[in-house]
Amino acid sequence: MNLARTLREGGCAVGTMVRLTRSPAIVPLAGAAGFDFIMLDFEHGDHGLQTLADVAVAGQAAGLAVLVRVPELSRGWVSRCLDAGAAGVMVPMIESAEQARRIVDWSKYPPLGGRGLSSFGPNTGYRATNDVAELMAQANRDVLAIAQIETVPGVEACEQIAAVEGSSPIAVSECTPLGMKCSVSSGVPTTTSSSRDPAVSSVDRPT
């Protein structure tokens, strides 16, 4: 599956966060379970770039997208994870359009951004190319730059964040981690998934 194209066309994709395992075997296991993508958790997990490179290349061969949640808003983390083969990055704790623009700038090649060129490595499946312009254009189409909204200021700025050119679609869901983090940010922690968090409810409306 081309995850970015599926989302652009309004399709649905199902994935899961991976925090513990370091084995590329997670790719066929996730595929057999029916997932379209996995996301390695570099924020709370103990993965390294070598693990990412091995898992990403396995994902490319299997047609399963491998995303990464990086630990922080950092050019180094974003660019190195993409060069190591990630199909996209999610950056936590984004609270403004300016922060979202940085993700795009570090994730996309010119003219959309300022990502440094990596023309051979895990990101290309170790395949060389003489058509650098097409490599850059394809990466700009297919690499996901995701802003993760986890705080009340992020929820309040979500429309401006979503409007940043080149950013990936933003969906605020009612999953426990998001609801809990928004409620923690508001000073009233949610302890169960049965209660609807007001911060989530404020942006969960028809558009």
Q: Which of 11-20, 110-119, 171-180, 188-197 has the lowest mean pLDDT?
A: 171-180
Question: pLDDT tens for residues 37-57?
Answer: 999 999 999 999 999 999 999
198 inside domain: no
Q: Which of 8, 44, 141, 196 is catalytic?
A: 44
157 inside domain: yes
Judge residue 149's burial from the number of C-beta atoms within 10 Å of its C-beta, 0-12 exposed, 13-18 middle, 19 or more buried: buried
The amino acid present at 163, given as its one-letter code, is A
Q: Is the pTM of this model over 0.95?
A: no
- How many domains does the chain divide into? 1
47 noted as active-site residue: no
> In whole angstroms, what is the distance from residue 49 CA to residue 83 CA?
10
129 inside domain: yes
pLDDT at 184: 56
Question: pLDDT tens for residues 59-96?
Answer: 999 999 999 999 999 999 999 999 999 999 999 999 99
pLDDT at 1: 86
pLDDT exceeds 80 at position 194: no
20 inside domain: yes
182 inside domain: no
Residue pair 187/153 in contact (Cβ under 8 Å)? The answer is no
At 124, which CATH number? 3.20.20.60
% of the chain residues with pLDDT over 70: 81
- pLDDT band at residue 168 using 50, 70 and 90 as cut-offs: confident
181 inside domain: no
44 inside domain: yes
199 inside domain: no
What does residue 77 show for φ and ψ, rounded to 5 degrees?
A: -65, -45
Rg (CA), the chain: 17
Judge residue 139's burial from the number of C-beta atoms within 10 Å of its C-beta, 0-12 exposed, 13-18 middle, 19 or more buried: buried
Q: Which of 107-111, 156-160, 185-189 has the lowest mean pLDDT?
A: 185-189
Domain coverage including residue 153: 3-172
